Structure 1
């Protein structure tokens, strides 16, 4: 679901802002988009209500990133017994005018898939960014579990 729609309280809005700032600290040229999904019936059918989705657009195609836009989806699961909502993973995908070039999922093996991948240095930076995203969204959950 679009990040702008998920920012329903100060805590969530602050965490989304923190994610944007983390990404921009790694990639200063990026412009954030908190509403990457169109608001039409077909798109709404595909949107996961248990996610926060945002994208980052670059001024042009980046050879190092092998993309012009990165779509980020932070996936959540709410434990029915404790009612705690935990970030379970981050899905990222890099796009150019030719479509999706690569994907990264922290839910499985943290490896990149696709025809074209970012440079090894950028891959490491993106993995580190995803690790920080999970920390930002799970710091409250971990504190409650202690």
Structure 2
């Protein structure tokens, strides 16, 4: 689901902003998009309400990441009142469609026609780890001092 629609309170909005800043720190040329999905009937039927989706766009084609855009989908699972990030899916796109995918759910391997160079793979994996950590730690200062 679009990140802009999931930012329902200050805590979630702060975590979304932290993830955007994390990716922009590693990849300064990126432009973020908190509404990567179009608002039409077909798209709404496919949206996962237990995810936060953000896309990032390079100013042109990135030969090191082998894509023009990166879509990340942070997936959540709720047990009772506790909602946890359980993984992150990332995909690199160009005008030719999806070129690669990365899932943190199992093996953390890139798959696809054109994978990022090894250095960029490590940067992307690091961003994914930190993004999951951001959503799984409580950013509430009051709780940290209790």
* Superposition TM-score tier, normalisation by shorter sequence: over 0.9
Matches within 5 A, 1:13-92: 13-80=13-80, 83-92=81-90
1:109 is aligned to 107
Cα RMSD (Å): 1.4
Aligned-partner Cα distance in 2 for 1:125–1:57:
16
Residues 99-138 of structure 1 deviation map (CA, whole Å, 9 limit, x = unaligned) = 0000000011100011110000000000000000011000
Aligned-partner Cα distance in 1 for 2:11–2:70:
24
1:140, distance to aligned residue in structure 2 (A): 2.4
Aligned-partner Cα distance in 1 for 2:120–2:6:
28
Structure 1: 5+ residue runs without aligned partners?
A: none
Runs of 4+ in 1 over 4 A off after TM superposition: none
Return the TM-score normalized by structure 1.
Answer: 0.94
Aligned-partner Cα distance in 2 for 1:35–1:99:
19
Aligned-partner Cα distance in 1 for 2:67–2:95:
9
1:97 aligns with 2:95: yes
Aligned-partner Cα distance in 2 for 1:59–1:140:
34
1:135 aligns with 2:133: yes
1:11 is aligned to 11
Return the TM-score normalized by structure 2.
Answer: 0.94
